[in-house]
Amino acid sequence: MARSSSKIEGFAEDLGRLLGTAQNKAQGWLGQRKQIAKSLEGIRDTATTLLNQLGTEAGRAIRRGRRAYASKRGPGRPRRRTLSARARAAISRAQKARWARVKAAEKRK
């Protein structure tokens, strides 16, 4: 009986050490995360201050992407491309010919 209780105590001590180590690691990581967040906030605040000092022209200069164009479709909506009936028919014929070749090759096997 004494032997099993000592095993349990040893196991409990090992488990306590393991959990303590894991807790310390997690707290260290959380501390690093908070430190990184503070650094990023500082960088963001500095960048905002500098952009405000440069004025509104700097804000326009850093905008990315294509400019929206005015049309009946509205800004930012791309124009849809259409095919003529003749082009659709040519594509259809070509695809049917491709499938016919594939099916003919399968029958030969």
Q: Is the pLDDT of residue 67 over 80?
A: no
In a domain, 69, yes or no: no
pLDDT score of 49: 85
Count the domains in the chain: 1
The answer to whether position 26 is within a domain reads yes
Determine the pLDDT at residue 88.
Answer: 95
Residue with tokens 């310390």: 24
Let me know if residue 32 belongs to a domain: yes
Q: Looking at the domain assignment, is residue 71 inside a domain?
A: no
Q: Note whether residue 56 is domain-resident.
A: yes
Mean pLDDT of 45-57: 81
Structural domain harbouring 42: 2-61+82-108
The whole model's pTM is what?
A: 0.34
Residue 50, amino acid = L
In a domain, 77, yes or no: no
Contact 59, 51 (CB under 8 A): yes
Average pLDDT, the chain: 82
Instruction: Label residue 11 by pLDDT band (50, 70, 90).
Output: confident
